Structure 1
């Protein structure tokens, strides 16, 4: 059985029955399948006649729009056509449950079929102001994209196109490539989670990139790219002179593949962000990556996280990392870093004076080395420090506490799954009193005590948490009722709070009655709160009713995660 992640990422494997059903669905549009009101045509007309009539109407509108004549009658006809055309757009979108917008077309997860794509294509002449198109997660779009790209000349202002998880084929890529000339302002192209793009098919698109095109961001996450695809991408880089962000995450990339890309990467010397998350990079691939980085000294963000096979290979890329003097974000979480890697990191960090974000989470070997790493960081510039599940030792945690006073711009701190925090939270909170910049604080599964949470309440009362938007205190079953009640009593000091999570582990359901009154009293004083997680707390029916009554009065979109009574 396929995993849910494989299905989500657009796996091309389908059963024989699934293929037959999809062919049947392709012949029936979304609007026909959910017909509730009259269609654009009489019921007896065939789909071919409908398609022909729509295309003829669209072509007539195009001819009128380009006619140089100045006949007032013609102008009036054009205005009428425009009004009628917009009415068709509204009707099409409303049947999909969407509101019409002349600049944004967002139809992700709409179960679109090939017939819908043909119908949408006939509407593009009436959407000349369109800037954003998102057709993601409509897996029946694959194989029918040509009908849409043939009409791209009508949306010349398009700047963002997303086609994630659409089961795109080589023919779709070729059609898209042929249509790129019609959208010269396109800046972002996201084709992630389309397995058909890889398997040596990427050249169908990249070979049609135009010199000097405006493309600034290209996302190809989980597209099953091969070495041949990396070669095709490398050949396109000299054309993509404006490219700033490249995301190749979740593709199995070999050292040879990186070499193929690096051969032309010097042409993208303006690249700002490179993401290679979970690419199965091994030590030799890191060596090749080091050679790549030499060509992009302007790089500001590098993500090589989730590459466990590179364990012990950080030293191979360390010298090149030191050249990235503009690097502001470094993500190396879940890389199985060793003591040798930690030593290499200590040597590199002093050169990264522009660093503002560091994610070294889920590297437990760093738990004893943090006291050596912290002095090498530009602490006064740091905005995000993610240290969750690092196995912080007591000495490392104390070193962090001492460094907190220097982290004056810190906005996000994640210490979840570090047991050394429990019973010692006051060590960190003292420095917050003079900062008040923190927006995200995550302390999930930290063995917090009642006293820890009361210290948190005191910090809130003093205004030290006034900018906090996300507070995660989940999986801390050692906190008593007094702690939760005390924190909620100081809800006024959490005026910016948007997300609060105090869930328990599934194995430890506990009655919430002692502090629920404090929560009910606090909720109206938290105007920005949109997400409250209370999972595995036991609520009486009357308590749940009161909670529902208050949350229903919150603005639309409020999310309450709570077990059913």
Structure 2
């Protein structure tokens, strides 16, 4: 993600008009659950996105805890400058957490940040991800990183790090022995230089999370990673996704994985894995008894890898999330997985999407999903399901009472056969997301769905996608729009038409607007390529005025 850079006519960097405080508050609100619970216990307000009214007291950590300054005058001056810096943030100093991701930080901001570090000796989390100007200036922080030696979380994703930054970071890691989480994703200069960063990790390192997504890692980096893994006894999350060249060193990585028995998450999405890759990884699976999430998705050459069931894959009895979407699974793969997947009794998320050869061979596999009672998310988009396989799925889904996300988009056989899911939709009291995009739904299908909604089922539904179902007539949309008002927790609804199709909006549009006034949570309506008449445009304008535009109508196709 690129950040806006502000330069004057001479090409020099200038301070942007937006104050640092506002950029700070626009940063991501994402926190780890551990960080959230700690912050809640300390009653630290971190979600206010507007400057305060000035009544909030700004507190400074005790300077005595930081490095002593050379004189009382210097100490007073430095404390005053840092107090001014914190006042720009319009909030109390947060000793342990400094979250500045996606703030458009400038080089000047980085210097101010460095000046603050001596006053945050107890800092545990520093996140400056998605800030382009960090690249080339990271040494400003690494030179002072010893002042925050208690740091546990360091996030530098998409910072345009240079090779010098990478080298400086490697030197800095040796003085932060408490580090538990390191995220360097989307920094291409990490590739080819991984040893410069991680060579300081010693046996017994406390690192638990290591994310290196899309870092242009080389085969040599992969080999180094294999040698490093035995030293990371506490590692729980390893994400090497979108690094296609590491497939050449998979043997080394697999050998290293044998020594990471605490690993809970392994992501190898889009890593150029082949049929032989699963056999190589299978040697490590028996040692990963605590693995909870396995992501092998978007490895298009993986097809055929499961034809001979990997013996050790069955040992992953605690697996909760298995992602095999877009893996070119063959009919024989599906047959083998039919024997394996039902053994994962703790499985909560299963993604088999975009494996089109499943359509005629997955009847047995889908029927055995009934043996996964903990399943919460089932994604089978674009699998070319046929009537028999869809029937098997419908019958099995009745036995999945905890299902929260159910996606069948791009399976044409659903059209005219939604009635097969009648019992499932009635019994799915937990369903929050239902996606039926491009399923060739007909008027009878949406009428059935409306009837289910009217009788009080699907009460927990938050997102409903009915887009690209152009065969539904205006009568069907009228019936649906008259009943959608009963989905009180609905936040998103998509009824867009296909990109090649434009249609006039029927009288059902008035029913839709009326229903929106009765849905307190709704924020997004997808209606692309529906054409409003002049009177309907006026209706929409009045509606937006009355409701302060709290609901966004995505109508990019109106003409």
Same fold (TM over 0.5): yes
Equivalent in 275, 289, 296 of residue 304 of structure 1: 296
Relative to structure 1, the CA distance from residue 216 to residue 111 in structure 2 (aligned partners, 3 Å threshold; closer, same or farther) is same
Equivalent in 340, 360, 367 of residue 352 of structure 2: 360
Q: CA offsets per residue over residues 98-137 of structure 1, 9 Å max, x none?
A: x887365444444444444233212233455655433233
> Which residue number corresponds to residue 89 of structure 1?
86
Aligned-pair Cα RMSD in Å: 3.2
**Separation of aligned partners in 2, 1:297 and 1:555:** 53
- Number of residue pairs matched? 511
Relative to structure 1, the CA distance from residue 153 to residue 443 in structure 2 (aligned partners, 3 Å threshold; closer, same or farther) is same
The structural deviation recorded for 1:299 is 1.1
> Which residue number corresponds to residue 539 of structure 1?
532
**Separation of aligned partners in 1, 2:204 and 2:475:** 64
> Which residue number corresponds to residue 164 of structure 2?
171
Q: Aligned ranges for residues 407-446 of structure 1 at < 5 Å?
A: 407-446=400-439
**Separation of aligned partners in 2, 1:64 and 1:105:** 18
> Which residue number corresponds to residue 327 of structure 2?
335
Q: Which moved more, 1:121-130 or 1:234-243?
A: 121-130
Q: Any idea what SS the aligned residue of 2:394 has?
A: helix
Relative to structure 1, the CA distance from residue 453 to residue 132 in structure 2 (aligned partners, 3 Å threshold; closer, same or farther) is farther
**Separation of aligned partners in 1, 2:481 and 2:165:** 54
1:28 aligns to 2:13 (yes or no): yes
**Separation of aligned partners in 2, 1:215 and 1:556:** 46
> Which residue number corresponds to residue 18 of structure 1?
none
Contact 1:491 1:525 in 2 (8 A): no
The structural deviation recorded for 1:460 is 1.1
**Separation of aligned partners in 2, 1:186 and 1:442:** 40
Equivalent in 291, 307, 312 of residue 315 of structure 1: 307
Q: Aligned ranges for residues 18-57 of structure 1 at < 5 Å?
A: 28-29=13-14, 31=15, 33-34=16-17
The structural deviation recorded for 1:254 is 4.8
1:205 aligns to 2:205 (yes or no): no
Q: Aligned ranges for residues 72-221 of structure 1 at < 5 Å?
A: 82=79, 84-91=81-88, 102=94, 104-127=97-120, 130-156=123-149, 158-199=151-192, 201-221=193-213
The structural deviation recorded for 1:317 is 6.1
1:345 aligns to 2:337 (yes or no): yes
Equivalent in 488, 491, 494 of residue 501 of structure 1: 494
Q: Which moved more, 1:288-297 or 1:121-130?
A: 121-130
Q: CA offsets per residue over residues 519-543 of structure 1, 9 Å max, x none?
A: 1111122111222211111123553
**Separation of aligned partners in 2, 1:492 and 1:112:** 44
**Separation of aligned partners in 2, 1:166 and 1:389:** 35
The structural deviation recorded for 1:241 is 1.8
1:236 aligns to 2:233 (yes or no): no
1:381 aligns to 2:374 (yes or no): yes
The structural deviation recorded for 1:324 is 0.9
Q: Any idea what SS the aligned residue of 1:427 has?
A: helix
**Separation of aligned partners in 2, 1:513 and 1:129:** 62
Q: Any idea what SS the aligned residue of 1:302 has?
A: strand
Q: Which moved more, 1:520-529 or 1:438-447?
A: 520-529
TM-score (norm 1): 0.82
Q: Any idea what SS the aligned residue of 1:322 has?
A: helix
Contact 1:118 1:147 in 2 (8 A): yes
Contact 1:143 1:172 in 2 (8 A): yes
Equivalent in 392, 395, 398 of residue 399 of structure 1: 392
**Separation of aligned partners in 1, 2:352 and 2:151:** 38
Q: CA offsets per residue over residues 380-403 of structure 1, 9 Å max, x none?
A: 222111111001100111112212
Q: CA offsets per residue over residues 358-398 of structure 1, 9 Å max, x none?
A: 11111111112232102433232221111110011001111
Q: Any idea what SS the aligned residue of 1:482 has?
A: helix
Q: Aligned ranges for residues 278-289 of structure 1 at < 5 Å?
A: 278-289=270-281
**Separation of aligned partners in 1, 2:263 and 2:549:** 40
Q: Aligned ranges for residues 462-477 of structure 1 at < 5 Å?
A: 462-477=455-470
**Separation of aligned partners in 1, 2:124 and 2:548:** 29
TM-score (norm 2): 0.83
> Which residue number corresponds to residue 56 of structure 1?
none
> Which residue number corresponds to residue 555 of structure 2?
562
For structure 2, list consecutive stretches of 5 or more residues without a partner in the other structure: 21-61
**Separation of aligned partners in 2, 1:113 and 1:162:** 17
Q: Any idea what SS the aligned residue of 2:135 has?
A: coil
Contact 2:319 2:346 in 1 (8 A): yes
**Separation of aligned partners in 1, 2:164 and 2:458:** 54
Relative to structure 1, the CA distance from residue 176 to residue 386 in structure 2 (aligned partners, 3 Å threshold; closer, same or farther) is same
> Which residue number corresponds to residue 451 of structure 2?
458
**Separation of aligned partners in 2, 1:86 and 1:252:** 47
Relative to structure 1, the CA distance from residue 463 to residue 189 in structure 2 (aligned partners, 3 Å threshold; closer, same or farther) is farther
**Separation of aligned partners in 2, 1:403 and 1:36:** 56
Q: CA offsets per residue over residues 234-263 of structure 1, 9 Å max, x none?
A: 232233222111111111145541111222
For structure 1, list consecutive stretches of 5 or more residues without a partner in the other structure: 1-7, 11-20, 38-60
Relative to structure 1, the CA distance from residue 85 to residue 36 in structure 2 (aligned partners, 3 Å threshold; closer, same or farther) is closer
Contact 1:136 1:162 in 2 (8 A): yes
